[in-house]
Structure 1
């Protein structure tokens, strides 16, 4: 994967704010932690709309949703592209906490 290809992770603003205070982001998917899942689910730019619809399609939480833009070259934990089922589309999975310094931008989600 080219270094200029960023990973994306959609989350709630309060979770990102807490990560900034702590120094690392450790949430995997909506309401589930890295410890529970074993990795942090990410996506490519092309995958983001379907992932967001699946995870947050009917989101009515108190926080706005944001997209973390992660530079994989700044990760100090393993990154693997894996399919949820054999022969399926591969998604980037980060096997450890994402340091806040690896997040190069935070974009609003719609």
Structure 2
């Protein structure tokens, strides 16, 4: 996968999905390192407008998720914009944080639940 070091017109906010329990653990530890971090080498992030894609793919039916809103300037590690999976739109790039996610970069936490049809909404 080819990565791009910067994303033209990068949004002022990025988001990250995790369970409430994972968020509570991150608060105690001061950072979030997801289970897949060792294998992937990065923390999966999204823009608010694209967060529904990984949510529907990875967390179908879950009602224990929180959406962490992040200040990109406070992440403390490089963010690379890279392709998602083959079923995502071909031009869509996702932000990947190449380091732990510091809780100090989180500016808001909200429940993120699927709608009545079971799919997650995009955020704006």
Q: Alignment partner of 1:5: what SS?
A: coil
Runs of at least 5 residues in structure 2 that lack an aligned partner in the other structure: 1-7, 114-124
CA distance in 1, matches of 2:15, 2:42: 14
CA distance in 2, matches of 1:3, 1:90: 11
Where does residue 19 of structure 2 map in the other structure? 12
Give 1:58's match in structure 2, choosing from 61, 67, 78: 61
CA distance in 2, matches of 1:98, 1:45: 17
**Is contact 1:4-1:71 (8 Å) kept?**
no
CA distance in 1, matches of 2:11, 2:83: 22
CA distance in 2, matches of 1:81, 1:69: 17
CA distance in 1, matches of 2:27, 2:12: 23
**Is contact 1:3-1:72 (8 Å) kept?**
no
Q: Aligned Cα RMSD in Å?
A: 2.1
**Is contact 1:3-1:71 (8 Å) kept?**
no
- Shift in Å, 1:3: 7.6
Q: Alignment partner of 1:67: what SS?
A: strand
Q: Alignment partner of 1:101: what SS?
A: helix
**Matched pairs, number:** 103
Task: Provide the TM-score with structure 1 as the length reference.
Answer: 0.83
Instruction: Please tell me whether residue 24 in structure 1 is matched to residue 36 in structure 2.
Output: no
**Structure with higher strand content:** 1
CA distance in 1, matches of 2:80, 2:70: 14
Instruction: Please tell me whether residue 95 in structure 1 is matched to residue 98 in structure 2.
Output: yes
- Shift in Å, 1:33: 2.9
**Structure with higher helix content:** 1
Runs of at least 5 residues in structure 1 that lack an aligned partner in the other structure: none
